[in-house]
Structure 1
Amino acid sequence: MTEAEWSHWMAAAQQGDANAYRLVLAEAAAWLRRFFLRRLPPPMIDCLVPGFGGADYV
């Protein structure tokens, strides 16, 4: 996701667009998962990034 796309989806999510909100959460979870995979043992990641995919938050 480019910075422009992120800005667009974030603005839409903040205005109440549920689909944009799910997309932002899914992208954030994917980024965090990649970040933590390089730094922590894999079993710890599910505790830090629950609901990977955003479905648990909407």
Structure 2
Amino acid sequence: MPRGPRLDSPGTLHHVIIRGIEKREIVADDKDRGIFVSRMGSVALKTGTNIYA
């Protein structure tokens, strides 16, 4: 049974988990991880999104 849509209102915090298909790794190495974090940071800055990690 599919779950319902998320509530999305201003100021709401979301707990986001990223997983690979079949629990596979989503980054290959430290260089790949750095690129992923850099891209995520760029998008966060452009959209005004706060990331707490």
When normalised by structure 1's length, the TM-score is: 0.33
Q: Using structure 2 for the length normalisation, give the TM-score.
A: 0.34
Larger Cα-atom Rg: 2
